Structure 1
Amino acid sequence: MITNNQSTILVSIILVNYNGADVLPDCLYSIEKFIPKDDCEVILVDNNSQDNSLDFVSQNFPDITIIKLQKNCGFGAGNNAGAKVARGKFLFLLNTDTVLTSNIFPPIIDLIENSLNVGIIGTKLLFPDKSFQISFAYKVGIKGEYKTSRLYKSIQEKSQLIRLETNFQENKEVDFVTGAAFFIRTDLFKSLGGFDEKFFMYFEDSDLCQRVQNQGYKILYTPNVSLIHIRGHSMKKNTNAMAVEYRRSQLYFYQKHRPLWERLVLKFYLFIKFVYEFAKTRNSYSLEILKLLIT
């Protein structure tokens, strides 16, 4: 069992949990199986879960540090709460819907310690069937989002997905890596103030990657270690609310990082898209997004 009662902590694994009883056990058991306890700690931040996930952790993993929040504060705020008590030289921010299949830390630590200009490392992610999952993207902006959208559309063909995986067989500098498995220097994370908590969910990892790059650090994707990610687990629980939250965060990101013309183009595109969608379907979330655009 991993414990935090060590004098020297190299990696702090931070998990943010919200009603994750159906996925959390597999994640924690995989950490217990593959990650040596000598110099690692596990911190679980709970966003006011209403299921039995905290009881499960308390009963089966008594050495894990648990932080209970009084409400669902979101992904970024949850990780920030964990980082405040973390004692590791590095932070590994890990989604609860992941499963480790090996001890991924030795190669990642070796890579980041020998690359002083690297601030964040993202691992290779796999679907439960072990097929390749995209965990990187272009810089968020009109051009970048268009290129990322085309990338996702292209991999609907299996041959294109295989080709993409083949093209990422070596470490590569990228614009963005997903927060599902996010390895970052603790001092860098704290110097930037952690995640911007105005992002409740979505784009908080893009924002942090952008700010890390603004400090002159690189974002690195490595295929040399991998783990399983059950993508979209938390989003399935309230699809409409998540659709609204996605657009709220997207608009805030553009306001924070993109020039005026891009902000205007995005708003115009979204207005046309959701006026049409609301007229066609009368979906409540389309109306909510329209309200975002005119406030």
Structure 2
Amino acid sequence: MYSQKIYIIIVSYNGMNWIDQCLKSCGDYPVIVVDNASADDTVGFIEQQFPNVTLLKQDTNLGFGQANNLGVSYALNHGAKQVFLLNQDAYLEETTITQMVEVHKQYPEYGVLSPMHLNGRGDTLDYNFLNYIKRSKTFLTDCFLPQKSTNKNHLVEIEFVNAALWLISKECLKEVGGFNPYFFLYGEDRDYINRVHYKGFKLGVVLNTFGYHDRVQKDSISKSQKIDTTLFEVQLLNPASKVNFKDESIILYKSFIKNLFRLKFNNCKRILKKLNVLRSNLNELETYSSLSKSNKKFLYIK
């Protein structure tokens, strides 16, 4: 039986395509599923097939971040020392978490650890994960020239990896908090990692552990456009940046005029969206920017 001090947290939303395999991959770890008002049979299926799972049913869709915060709160209130965030469309290997926990024992300065992300079939790296990991200074040497590598613990530090498979320590949750409720979908994981770095923790990938992310291996145009605006919001809320919201508005306005005269209308549309974000959400942005820099413990975790 695995330690009860590690909880797996899954946010579900119409997840019938994946939830069976996802939960089966969790082994004997205690699992918390926060369901965001699924309209399919996800809730009933979990209740019937996985009665030992703690199911926190929501009446409305809280979004990825706030739902995870609920699961984290439940886990901490029940003695968790670490939590493992697992997407509903992701699966674990049997030894993934135990290996990662052992690495964390040696390197507690890593607030968040992730395994290697494979696609759903396990025959190649997840398409976005490759973009993240290749930016590591030591990844290529560790993988292709192991005889030259000084990395004996299969751990590489990276700047970002998405939250499909994250092991987070209680100390990190205490200092960094949970996900920022400003973000409903997309951006919450990037914002979180910015705060992880700001608080002095590291993010790492354990190269000899694996998880499977069973998703479409390409972003749609609409998703890419949404992410473009969201990344702007992430930038505005980065506690390490010195963004002045008023100055940013002026810079965007000048850029809009310049692109308009150059007849670059697509650029103008993107800039207008960002200006609208600043105008519509200024009070929220200022509030959450201040909170991200604060020393409040367990921020956003009730």
Answering whether residue 91 of structure 2 is matched by residue 96 of structure 1, we say no
2: CA distance, partners of 1:14 / 1:85: 10
Q: Which amino acid aligns with 2:194?
A: Q
Match of 1:45 in 2: 34
- 1:111 equivalenced with 2:103 (yes/no): yes
Look up the match of 2:55.
Answer: 66
Change (3 A) 1:93 1:266: farther
1:254 matched to 2:235? The reply is: yes
Change in CA separation of 1:182 and 1:277 when aligned onto 2, cut-off 3 Å: same
Task: Determine which of 8, 19, 23 is the counterpart of 2:18.
Answer: 23
Q: Which amino acid aligns with 2:24?
A: Y
CA RMSD of aligned residues (A): 3.8
Residue 252 of structure 1 aligns with an amino acid whose one-letter code is E
* CA spacing shift, 1:232–1:193, aligned 2, 3 Å: farther
Q: 1:173, 1:218 within 8 Å by CA — same for their partners in 2?
A: yes
1:175 equivalenced with 2:173 (yes/no): no
The 1:51–1:164 alpha-carbon spacing in structure 2 relative to 1, beyond 3 Å, is farther
Which stretch of the first structure deviates more once superposed, 256-265 or 12-21?
256-265
Separation in 1, partners of 2:62, 2:15:
15
Report the equivalent of 1:132: 125
User: Partner letter of residue 69 of structure 2?
Assistant: N
TM-score (ref. length: structure 1): 0.73
Find the residue that maps to 2:116 and give its secondary structure.
strand
The CA deviation string for residues 14-49 of structure 1, in whole angstroms up to 9 with x for no partner, is: 000111111111111222xxx2x2xx3100001111
TM-fit CA distance, 1:56: 0.6
Q: Select the residue among 174, 178, 189 that pairs with 1:194.
A: 178
Secondary structure of the residue that 2:30 maps to in structure 1?
strand
Which residue of the partner structure matches residue 122 of structure 1?
114
Amino acid at match of 2:101: I
Residue equivalent to 2:299: none
In structure 2, the residue matched to 1:14 is 9
- Change in CA separation of 1:100 and 1:83 when aligned onto 2, cut-off 3 Å: same
- Partners in 2 of 1:243 and 1:69 — Cα distance? 28
Q: 2:283 aligns to what?
A: none
Task: Give the whole-Å Cα distance in 1 for the aligned partners of 2:56 and 2:114.
Answer: 25
SS at match of 1:15: strand
Specify every segment of 5 or more residues in structure 2 that has no aligned partner in the other structure, as ranges.
281-302
Equivalent residue of 2:25, what SS?
helix
State yes or no: 1:224 paired with 2:208: yes
Structure 1: how far apart are the matches of 2:111 and 2:231?
23
Measured at CA, do residues 171 and 84 of structure 1 come closer, stay the same or move farther in structure 2, by a change above 3 Å?
same
Post-superposition shift, 1:105?
Answer: 1.7
Q: Which residue identity does 1:93 align to in structure 2?
A: L
